[in-house]
Structure 1
């Protein structure tokens, strides 16, 4: 087989440089599991946002392990089971997660080859792999599945790994069916919005009219169905057994809430004038400065251009599901950064991060940003009110 090799570099932390996000998540078992029943599971920390990254990473794993693509399952990112790969953004997932996973799978292949070679007394270079089965000069001598032992992968990734050269790759870089699309096309329950837990309640948050507004008064009154009120300072929400009752209760509660008046943005028709006036109220800074043009060619042109606000918004509402067990909380979210969200939730709740489990579930695309992290905190706060 043809292989390529990358030299290790020293970095500031004193450790030899490993590819991509493997450098800060160095154990093979954080990324990969091989099962006796013939399955391969990868557990990247990058999340599926509609860009197809889990398909790409599965291709890379299948290629380096010499197994068919169908054997590989990409597990959604979660804080208990996945490496901390920060945020999925900037079109960096293939670069940072793909390079890490390629190194991990190449290392795993060499580890398993070494075990087989030692057991049967066959030189490494005389062994070939076909869909996870090992063959020597006299025939089949083993497989990943026969040797499947997670202890073999419970080690730090070696620095020097022989990965496949681009010309030897058979799956990565080819067109394969997206693993996430069939469920989406045929309407199967794949999104966080589809998640249903036993005894789950539905919630809606009653938002203030503007940022910084405080809840001055809340008039009492009945709510529909079994809906109940949840209030924590200026945080106001409702809980109900059905989504319909939650929506109706939130509408009714919003009409009874009085908020303090605060400055806010004007209506769209007045926005241009507001921005023009704002420029004269505050400090001004020069964007660019050039020398005055020669008098003979100087000419002043004045024009004003405006356009309406364009929302870089998802096509579906942000959603999260949370449940408490004692002092611990589990959150299902379409956040772009499960570990970052866990850290933020720990600050908000004033608790250790270890008491929070964040599990990614797909949601509407978020090229730009959406409210996934915000509603995760909403769900946590409302769920905390449920006995």
Structure 2
């Protein structure tokens, strides 16, 4: 059977509408808002629409769920697909009745002849006994004008809330599959590291006899620095995790972090010039008043409300994982590399979790479960401990911002120099590092420049980003480097407003060029 291409909208003869999006709902409510968009274009009730999000076998690959881009970018083909389906159904009804499409009206999935209201049919009656596959039209599909909206732009009840109120199994932690075992991992004594020759080969020995007495123990799995235990019951796996005796190499200490500003300044950097406007040095030299400030943004934990969890089922014909990742299709690539398995044989079923914005351990625990399931040949559920979650999650990166600026004699903004450095990488999946599948070489990412350019009109402007390698395993918390940079801009203009003896809000508005 020839597989279908990516599907965005499917109307089923029994009266249901399925809609597919590659992004996932991280608590922002896109499962509801995307359903609103589809229901609006099709003119059906919201109850008819079921959203399938992030499932690699069903939803299109639209990249990771980041940058608040779901509605503004990845919802566009979904909206067009719904509109195209509507137009096709209208054309079918018009042909059946021998009348122009312009005479037809739609309400709640029913098409009616405006001139003869007794003549009416539903989408699903039209589709009965047929299978119609439409290719998404890249051109201008007629979209419903906003003036006719009845759903979009109006408050709608969140579709995910009822199941949560009733404590139905909607989280990845709730997944249970036949024959499932329970796994736990034993992490090395170097939490948070992603660099150094010791990663992947710091384990000296494992005393398997130290847990041989535990009932229900199925296996102790060792691959490089990755260590896990599998048991029939969860409490047995927990006990084995605690009692397993291991010897590790001595781990070199981290650089001193008690003076974070100095540590950040010392990092070797490659400077990127982002903006050069006017003559900053000359303007600073002739300014009526000038100040210099340094802002330090600390490392932060995501501190998810619950530790991460995943279930994996490794079989001869492929791998299925149940995951709380925000990057299902990227997760599939990492699992392919980890397990040396063709990407097409890996299915990622995305369920809700205890948060995952900016990468907590949601991806790491999926890889843990996959390795353990492959080792024992049965489905394995892995639950991290809270200590493992918080010690090993990629920390929200620290950031250093050095700012100098000036105002003229009239109190107007004159000059602004801004340098930012952001020691982060993409915090690769932990099992890839611990097993030695990838080298522990910290990558320098050019990501510290988000919102580095201020929104205010400084005649003389110089903006630089110093790209640096990470100190510890660090990702992003929210907005990558945007929050610290914006914080620095806003606190600094507060100080300039004080120098100019102006109200802080009025001063901002006077220097915002964007209406």
For the criterion TM > 0.5, the same-fold answer is yes
User: Which is worse superposed, 306-315 or 237-246?
Assistant: 306-315
Distance of 1:286 and 1:158 partners within structure 2: 41
| 8 Å CA contact 2:261, 2:296 repeated in 1 | no
| 8 Å CA contact 1:322, 1:329 repeated in 2 | yes
1:179 maps to 2:159: yes
* Partner in structure 2 of residue 250 of structure 1: 241
Distance of 2:260 and 2:204 partners within structure 1: 28
CA RMSD, 1 decimal: 2.9
Corresponding residue to 1:333 among 308, 323, 333? 323
Are the structure 2 counterparts of residues 260 and 42 from structure 1 closer, same or farther at C-alpha, using a change threshold of 3 Å?
same
Corresponding residue to 2:145 among 160, 165, 171? 165
* Partner in structure 2 of residue 240 of structure 1: 231
Are the structure 2 counterparts of residues 239 and 134 from structure 1 closer, same or farther at C-alpha, using a change threshold of 3 Å?
same
User: Which is worse superposed, 216-225 or 373-382?
Assistant: 216-225
1:141 maps to 2:132: no
| 8 Å CA contact 1:346, 1:352 repeated in 2 | yes
3-state SS of 1:162 partner: coil
Runs of 5+ consecutive residues of structure 1 not aligned to the other structure: 1-26
Deviations 1:167-220 (CA, angstroms, capped at 9, x unpaired): 111101111110111222332211000011011111111111113262111123
Where do residues 29-44 of structure 1 align in structure 2 (5 Å cutoff)?
Answer: 30-44=7-21
3-state SS of 2:211 partner: coil
1:259 maps to 2:248: yes
Distance of 1:74 and 1:305 partners within structure 2: 43
Offset of 1:70 from its aligned partner? 0.9
| Higher strand proportion | 2
Corresponding residue to 2:332 among 324, 342, 346? 342
Corresponding residue to 1:373 among 350, 356, 363? 363
Distance of 2:289 and 2:124 partners within structure 1: 78
* Partner in structure 1 of residue 67 of structure 2: 90
Would you say how many aligned residue pairs link Structure 1 and Structure 2? 354
* Partner in structure 2 of residue 230 of structure 1: 221
Return the TM-score normalized by structure 1.
Answer: 0.83
Are the structure 2 counterparts of residues 294 and 358 from structure 1 closer, same or farther at C-alpha, using a change threshold of 3 Å?
closer
Are the structure 2 counterparts of residues 239 and 174 from structure 1 closer, same or farther at C-alpha, using a change threshold of 3 Å?
same
Structure with the greater relative contact order (CA < 8 A, sep ≥ 6): 1 or 2?
1
3-state SS of 2:335 partner: helix
Return the TM-score normalized by structure 2.
Answer: 0.63
Offset of 1:278 from its aligned partner? 7.6
| 8 Å CA contact 2:326, 2:357 repeated in 1 | no
3-state SS of 1:75 partner: strand
3-state SS of 1:225 partner: coil
